Amino acid sequence: MTTELNDEFELLRQNADEAGLDWSGPPPVRRETVSLTSGQKVSCLVWGNEPPALALLHGGAQNAHTWDTVALALKRPLIALDLPGHGRSDWRADRDYWPVSSAEAVAEVLAAIAPACRTVVGMSLGGLTAIRLAAQYPDRFDRLVVVDVTPGVDQHKSAPIAEFVQGPESFASFDELLERTMRYNPTRSETSMRRGLLHNARALEDGRWAWRYDRLRPPAGELRFAHLWDDVSRLRADTMLMLGALSAVVVQDDVDEFRRRKPDVDVRVVAGAGHSIQGDRPVELARLIEEFVAPSQSTV
């Protein structure tokens, strides 16, 4: 299928089948949108019928659907956000999609839709945003899971990712888009990539395909997040740092610095996973999250 989805949830059965998860019918999931005090709108997916106790923040150039398989495996009430400038959330005129401003947007969304949420999971740019969020609002979060990123990330460690994200903004066809994406994501199946692109790209009136995210432009042209190390030092939430064994985004020096600033951090390495652990090993990621958040939180 190379046309836009009629129903954004129609591929969930495919997610479950590919991951080997039991399927007993469509899960309770809906899309909601929050209008921030700034006037900007942030969209999100709310899973379950109970108040969300867990928030999922995707990486740069991704969207809330990157967590679909993880959410299916967890079977917990949770919220997965489209960060500002991504998915179905509004784009910003100033293109500030970085952790400090995005954390404030996420805080507003959670206050409106998931005030009982005490755990936040963030991957890559979402992980840095989650660090800022948990440091800025220590009384609101008990647990933090940071997926394959630290404030030590820079343009050198993330060069292949940045090269992909800063590539063409539109493509002549869906197949051209898929071919390029597969080249940059060798650990993912074509079925998984095709499904992800149907959520992360859209057909234009002229038949071309374009991304659903605004172009990420680092301040001064360089990725620098070292200022967030101070936020790591301020963390009070129980923290897990999850690394992809095949990823080069986090090096040992980064892990050592994280441990120096947060000595009780629980570091886990996921075999067979690259940077996007939720795409490469979603069931394993869900298992680790499940163990970390403890059985005190109700299931869907």
Residues labelled catalytic: 124, 148, 275
Distance CA 158, CA 69 (A): 25
Q: Please state, in angstroms and rounded to a whole number, the distance separating the CA atoms of residues 207 and 237.
A: 47
The residues, ordered by sequence, that sit 6+ positions from 123 with a Cβ below 8 Å of its Cβ are 57, 58, 59, 62, 66, 147, 148, 149, 276, 277, 278
Q: Which residues pair with 47 in a beta bridge?
A: 29, 78
Contact 263, 238 (CB under 8 A): no
Residues 249, 158: Cα–Cα separation, whole Å: 6
Judged by DSSP in three states, 272 sits in coil
> E strands of the chain, at which residues?
29-35, 41-47, 54-57, 78-81, 119-123, 143-147, 170-171, 201-203, 209-211, 238-244, 266-270
Q: Which residue has the tokens 């005090």?
A: 37
